[in-house]
Structure 1
């Protein structure tokens, strides 16, 4: 796959993540009052929570710092993905950057992020957070596969 094709795929994933994230947050803000919850499935609730920090409330009250950190991390992920030559790196790149940009948009626009998915024993989160988490797991897989391939002896 060419670098251009990989970046096009990363951009498509980024766009899908960003669109779903922003649409879902708008839908929650329009239909669930802050602090309310609605059961969806056993163990899963829709809630409307405003998070002024980043993961688990870290940096709460420091919106500008959160925006700069989020934008910088998204930029670093994109830069390192551009430098690497790994066939599947487009997927974690799109997930990570799409999730980070979705949350940065919220912080710039609202000064906080809307979280709305609640499962037992875990803080509320949103689709951007889920994309970032899946992106990290996918990145670890891609990097491990690349390292494993580098350790394999060449076929003769």
Structure 2
């Protein structure tokens, strides 16, 4: 099941990025709900909110470190509560999705634009939800195992 989650998130992320890159002009913004939600095609040279702009090798090495740590710890992760286990898988899928962009082009394709937040992508959603799931597990679910 974890492998399926990883594949679905990664394929969905890469497919939408490919579609956006092939059908939109860089900087183009298509209103879905005008003033609220747009598809806006940008290339992000940094991390969240454009932080650490143009640090391609740092992000490539960080992504590879996440993959290595995941593979090393996976036998233990599989035995953790589902919230933690699947959170780690979602985090990995998002990291790999953005890593593919960085290796391929040096930039990450972003396209989800809610106008009050920087533009982001499905990989970013996977990372955020993965970390949130891990935090939830650490705060509430893994604590229950000690009782």
TM-score exceeds 0.5: yes
Is 1:63 the counterpart of 2:63? The answer is no
The total of aligned residue pairs comes to: 143
Runs of 4+ aligned structure 1 residues displaced above 2 Å come to: 73-85
Alignment of 1:134-145 (within 5 A): 134-144=129-139, 145=141
TM-score when scaled to structure 1? 0.84
RMSD: 1.6
* Matched residue, 2:95: 100
Of 56, 64, 87, the residue aligned with 2:81 is: 87
The offset of 1:138, in angstroms, is: 0.9
Alignment of 1:95-134 (within 5 A): 95-134=90-129
Question: Unpaired segments of 5 or more residues in structure 1?
Answer: 1-8
Deviations 1:97-127 (A, max 9, x none): 0000000000000110000001132100000
The offset of 1:149, in angstroms, is: 3.0
* Matched residue, 1:13: 5
Deviations 1:54-110 (A, max 9, x none): 122222212111110122123324544532431303311221100000000000001
Question: Unpaired segments of 5 or more residues in structure 2?
Answer: none
136-145 vs 84-93, greater mean Cα deviation:
84-93
Could you tell me whether the CA contact under 8 Å between 2:90 and 2:130 is conserved in 1?
yes
